[in-house]
Amino acid sequence: MRSVGVEEELLLVDPHSGEPRAVSGTVLAMAPDDSALEKELHREQLEIATRPTTLMEDLAAEVARWRGEAAHRARVAGTELVALATSPLPVTPSLSVDERYERLQEEFGLTAQEQLTCGCHIHVSVESDDEGVAVLDRIRAWLPALLALSANSPFWQGKDSCYSSYRSRVWNRWPSAGPVEPFGCAANYHRQVGALLATETLLDEGMIYFDARLSRRYPTVEIRVADVCLQPDDTVLLAALTRGLVETAARAWRAGEPPDPAGVGLLRLASWRAGRSGLSGRLVHPLTWTPAPAEAVVRALLDHVTEALEDTGDLVLAKERLDTLMDRGNGARVQREQLRRTGDLRSVVEECIRRTAP
């Protein structure tokens, strides 16, 4: 089976006000050398990274372990850990101490300064760059469905953004972010990356912010489109569906099936719709490129990867957790429902803290 690993970005917030606090340096200084906790662009956030594993049960244990470890370290530092893709309350982010981050701020200004957003990046192993690029070409149409499932950022600077994933809108300010055309082969992929770097607009290859890309460090494809999920069970569901997508795409490539030729404009529109609607409205169906209820689209995603999920033993898990998610709602729905009940964004943060590391 293909291995899968997850990187989750999380916020550090004041336990009383719910506002983000710039204490990641303190939290990380207390962590042991073998910790999976890492710094991020802003001091109000940190990242956890699981080890690669082939079993979803092991991945679930890893996510729970490192969320719990990060939550414990955060409390020792006088804060709380919360899996929110944007802060519901107003914040003026502060950059982490890092030469590269300082260059990002100098070059990209407010795009870097305001980029206090938290995503979920899923790594799935591939046998070669050729297989990896074939996968990237064949999963493009389904990535908006993953965004809709994970949507967890309805609020921005104290206001309802009218989006389910406003993080996705903020993230797409970067010049290299978003969907891409099919590459056809690994040589074309690397040629395109080289052409982007040759413009000297990007600082380095780390700024290849495609919705899905070849990892620079690991023999994996890295799917980067999702918000960080509010609840750990949803992270595991996202990982299972993503691995199913990768395996399904690799099999299609080996069978000689061509990728969907949809252009970047259509994919960008579908991604915008997913960020706007989440699971609460209509999405663009990737099999017809026409509007469809969000549930119909995510059920079509499950159908698309069913054979791969059966082969890894993940089909029952995926069905059960998808049913739970559709019934309970994603993070965006949880946050908005809490605000309707209480009228208080601080209570929204409190409820999300409770759900982050139960």
Contacts of 94-102 spanning 24+ positions with Cβ under 8 A = 94/22, 94/42, 94/43, 94/44, 95/41, 95/42, 95/43, 96/24, 96/25, 96/39, 96/40, 96/41, 96/42, 96/43, 97/25, 98/39, 100/203, 100/204, 100/206, 101/41
Quick: pLDDT tens for 1-49.
Answer: 999 999 999 999 999 999 999 999 999 998 887 789 999 999 999 999 9
Nearest to 87 by CA among 2, 18, 27: 18
Structure tokens at 350: 């409190």
Three-class SS state of 16: coil
Instruction: Compute the distance between CA of residue 305 and CA of residue 282 in angstroms, rounded to an integer.
Output: 21
Q: Full-prediction pTM beyond 0.95?
A: yes
Domain boundaries, the chain: 4-356
For residues 148 and 298, the answer to whether their CB atoms sit within 8 Å is yes
Instruction: Compute the distance between CA of residue 320 and CA of residue 301 in angstroms, rounded to an integer.
Output: 15
Instruction: Compute the distance between CA of residue 28 and CA of residue 35 in angstroms, rounded to an integer.
Output: 9
* Residues contacting 124, CB < 8 A, separation 6+: 2, 3, 4, 220, 221, 223, 242, 243, 246
Q: Residue 195: what pLDDT?
A: 98
String of DSSP letters for 98-162: -HHHHHHHHHHTHHHHT----EEEEEEE-SSHHHHHHHHHHHGGGHHHHHHHH--B-EETTEE-S
Instruction: Compute the distance between CA of residue 302 and CA of residue 319 in angstroms, rounded to an integer.
Output: 8
Q: Residue 125: what pLDDT?
A: 98
Q: Residue 167: what pLDDT?
A: 98
Of 3.40.640.10, 1.10.10.60, 3.30.590.20, 3.30.565.10, the CATH number of 4-356 is: 3.30.590.20
Q: Residue 30: what pLDDT?
A: 86
Low-confidence spans in the chain with pLDDT less than 50: none
Three-class SS state of 37: strand
Q: Residue 358: what pLDDT?
A: 82
Instruction: Compute the distance between CA of residue 330 and CA of residue 277 in angstroms, rounded to an integer.
Output: 11
CA atoms within 13 A on the CB side of 219: 8
String of DSSP letters for 204-252: SGGG--BSEEE-SSSSEEEEEEEEPPSSHHHHHHHHHHHHHHHHHHHHH
Quick: pLDDT tens for 100-131.
Answer: 999 999 999 999 999 999 999 999 999 999 99
Three-class SS state of 80: strand
Residue whose pair of structure tokens reads 């139960």 in the numeric block:
358
